[in-house]
Structure 1
Amino acid sequence: MPENLSEDQKWELLTRSEKLGEVLLKQGKLTLGQLEELIKEQERTESPIGELILSKGWMTRQELLAALDLQHKTDQAIIDSLTEMIQRNTSEENK
């Protein structure tokens, strides 16, 4: 992590949830070009990216649900890790 970041910026990086498009890009389910197209269309229509992906037939509902599940599990792992870290720091401060 870059040292020139403020504590707030570091916290934001640590706790930021991965967006669905990022998850799908990392999994190789979307290309960068497809993601850019989806983002432009989403800005225009205000439709969720998942709905746009399904309407274009780029992925099945099952594949989309699996990606959403992975996104949720990743978010939960971050929450669990941060909770454990806070509890550990709190217990050390109380010693």
Structure 2
Amino acid sequence: MSSTIATDGEQAVLMAQSDKFDLLLLDLGLLVKDGWTVLAELRQQGKQLPIIIVTTRDDVAEKKAGLQYGANDYLTKPFRFQDLLARVRNHLSSSLMK
């Protein structure tokens, strides 16, 4: 398993469109296109890859919005690596079952 880093939201959308990725860890505070825009564009395009929002924004309304707009999970920073790993494994195994 390998990972790739996008330098901004526009690059993240382009990379996700390639269908080479199994999961997206998405920060909301991206340059060029913010994470909300990335999430919206990918879901509007029908991309079904699991998206986990990883952000410092811990407001309940933001968490709710992230899930309503198509994120599969929402994890606030700081977090324990074990928590992130468990969520990634869970979403990858769920997506393989579809």
For normalisation by structure 1, the TM-score amounts to 0.31
Which structure is richer in relative contact order (CA contacts within 8 A, separation 6 or more)? 1
Higher helix share: 1
Higher strand share: 2
Larger radius of gyration: 1
